Structure 1
Amino acid sequence: MTDAVEINRAEALGGVPHGFLGRRGGVSEGMLAGLNVGLGSDDDRQAIAENRRRAVEAVAPGARLVTLHQVHSAKAVTVTSPWPDDARPQADAVVTDRPGLLLGILTADCAPVLFADPDAGVIGAAHAGWKGAFGGVIAATVEAMERLGAKRSRIAAAIGPCIARASYEVDHGFRRRFADADPENERFFADGRPGHAWFDLEGFNAAALAAAGIGRVEAMGLDTYSAPDRFFSFRRATHRGEADYGRQLSAIALP
C-alpha cells in the first residue's frame, strides 16, 4: 500500500477538521493490508495502534480518538472526555461539544455519516449500515446534537465511503421489510435477478438526513466494494472467501 494516508473531505463540512479515510497509508499486511483501524479484526495490535495514530495525525493532530463498540443500533451517546478503547460504549453514533476529541466511526461497507454545526460548536458521527439506518440512527444523532445546542437547519452532514447500489444485492425479504415500513422506500431499490434487488444505502441515508431537517447534505458517492485498492469491504472479503476484513475510519473534530 502507498505510504500516504488518503483523506477524502466533504465540501459540506467546510473547515471543520474531518476526513473519510480508506486503506491507503497504513502498516497492516496481508488481507488487511493498509490502514486497518478495526479493533475487532485479528490484525496485529501494534499495527492497529500505529494505523490509528496515523489516522489521528492526518485528520486532527493532537486530538484524542474516540470510537464505539458498534452494534448496528440506533443509539447515540454524548462524550465529554475520552474513554479507554476497552471500555467503549455499545452505540452507533457519538456527539460532542468538546474540542480536542476526534469522533471516529469504523466501517467496511456500512455508511459513515459525519455531522457539524460550527456555529453551535457541536459535531457528530454515525455508523449507518442498513440496520442502524432503518432503526433511526440518523434521527438519534441529530436529536443528541440538539441537546447540546445544535440546530437542524444549521447542521451539515456528509455520507462517506459505503457500498453502492450497483454492488449491494439483497433478497426479496430485505426489500419487503423496507417497503412494509414505508412504501416510499421502494425508490431505493432496483430490480435484479429473480427474488433479488439492488439497494441504495447511500440514498436511503441521504433521504433520512433530509427528513431530519438537515440544512446541507453531501453524498460522496464512494463505493467501498468496487475499489479494493482504496477501501476495505466486508462483502468483498466474504465473496473472496477471506477469513477477516479491515475497517476504515471516518472522523471529525472541532477546530
Structure 2
Amino acid sequence: MITTREGGSSKAPFDSFNLGGKVGDDPEALRANTEKLAEGIGVPTANLVWMEQIHGRTATLVEGPQPEPVEATDALLTDRPGLALISLTADCVPILLGEPEAGVIAAVHAGRVGARVGVLVAALKSMRDAGADLGKVEALLGPAACGLCYEVPAEMQADVEKHLPGSACKTRKGTPGLDLRAGLWEQLAAVGIAKIGADPRCTVETPELFSHRRDDGKTGRFASVIWMEQEDA
C-alpha cells in the first residue's frame, strides 16, 4: 500500500498526510497521521515498524513490535503476521517484497546511494536467509523521481551505472540522468525475480506525492507499507 500527501492533518509545507518524523512537522499532526495510517490498514499503531533510513545497505529482521524506528537500516524484513513494515520516501525508490509461500516480506528504502551500494541485494539475501525462495518473490517498485527529472553530474551517473547497470539515462533536457527504478528492475531480474511491478508515477511530476527535489527539500514523506494479515484464532 502506498499513501499520498492527501487526507491528513499536517499544514504546509507538509500538507497534509506527512508520515516523516524528521522533517520538522508538528508532532501532533504527525501523531494523527500515524494513527490514521494504522486504522486504514487495520493494524495497531504499535505494530507499525519504521526505520531510521541512513542511505546504507543494512537489512534488519524484525520479530516483534518496535517502540522506536529501527536504527541505521534501510531495509526491514519479517516473517511475523501483523507487523506493517514501512519505507518513507519523497523521490527515493520504495521497494516492497513478498514471498507468499514462505511468509516473508520486506520493505526497502533505495535512494541513489543505497541503490548504488546494494541495499536491494542485501534485502533479498536476508529474505533468502529467512527461508524465502527468490524465484517466488513478488516485487513492487514504488513512485520515485523518474529519469527524465533526475539530473546528475556525468561523473555521478557513470559511477552509479557501474554499480547499478541500467540506471543511466538522459533527462528531458538531454543532460545526464539516473533512472534508479530501471537499474533496480534489472537487479531484481538478474537474481531471478519473475514477478516485478512498478508504480509509474514520478514524484517530481505528481502533485499528490511528496518530492524533495520539486519542493526544495522542505516537504513531507509518503509511506509504502507491506504487511501480512494475522490469521483468525
TM-score by length of 1: 0.84
> What is the letter of the counterpart of residue 122 of structure 1?
V
> What is the letter of the counterpart of residue 88 of structure 1?
V
CA distance 1:191–1:62, change in 2 (3 Å)? closer
- Report the equivalent of 1:190: 170
1:199 pairs with one of 175, 178, 185:
178
1:60·1:253 contact (CA, 8 Å) conserved in 2? no
CA distance 1:192–1:24, change in 2 (3 Å)? closer
What 5-or-longer segments of structure 1 have no aligned partner?
Answer: 1-18
1:91 pairs with one of 56, 73, 81:
73
1:166 alignment partner, SS class: coil
- Report the equivalent of 1:208: 187
**Post-superposition offset of 1:191:** 6.2
**Post-superposition offset of 1:179:** 4.0
1:26·1:33 contact (CA, 8 Å) conserved in 2? yes
- Report the equivalent of 1:16: none
CA distance 1:60–1:116, change in 2 (3 Å)? farther
Structure 1 residues 31-75: Cα deviation after superposition (integer angstroms, max 9, x where no partner):
110110111111111111111111122234336100100000111
**Post-superposition offset of 1:206:** 1.0
2:62 pairs with one of 63, 79, 89:
79
What 5-or-longer segments of structure 2 have no aligned partner?
Answer: none
1:38 pairs with one of 20, 27, 34:
20
What is the percent sequence identity of the aligned residues?
A: 33
CA distance 1:180–1:140, change in 2 (3 Å)? closer
Structure 1 residues 4-46: Cα deviation after superposition (integer angstroms, max 9, x where no partner):
xxxxxxxxxxxxxxx0111111110111101101111111111
Relative to structure 2, which stretch is displaced further, 72-81 or 206-215? Answer: 206-215
2:215 alignment partner, SS class: helix
1:218 and 2:197 are equivalent in the alignment: yes
1:133 and 2:129 are equivalent in the alignment: no
> What is the letter of the counterpart of residue 67 of structure 2?
P
More helix by share: 1
2:214 pairs with one of 231, 236, 252:
236
Looking at structure 1, the residues matched to 220 and 42 of structure 2 have their Cα atoms a distance apart, in angstroms, of 22
Looking at structure 2, the residues matched to 44 and 38 of structure 1 have their Cα atoms a distance apart, in angstroms, of 11
Looking at structure 2, the residues matched to 191 and 62 of structure 1 have their Cα atoms a distance apart, in angstroms, of 42
1:169 alignment partner, SS class: coil
**Post-superposition offset of 1:95:** 0.2
1:249 and 2:223 are equivalent in the alignment: yes
Looking at structure 2, the residues matched to 101 and 26 of structure 1 have their Cα atoms a distance apart, in angstroms, of 22
Looking at structure 2, the residues matched to 149 and 137 of structure 1 have their Cα atoms a distance apart, in angstroms, of 19
**Post-superposition offset of 1:148:** 1.4
Count matched residues: 228
2:149·2:172 contact (CA, 8 Å) conserved in 1? no
Looking at structure 1, the residues matched to 147 and 172 of structure 2 have their Cα atoms a distance apart, in angstroms, of 11
Looking at structure 1, the residues matched to 154 and 172 of structure 2 have their Cα atoms a distance apart, in angstroms, of 10
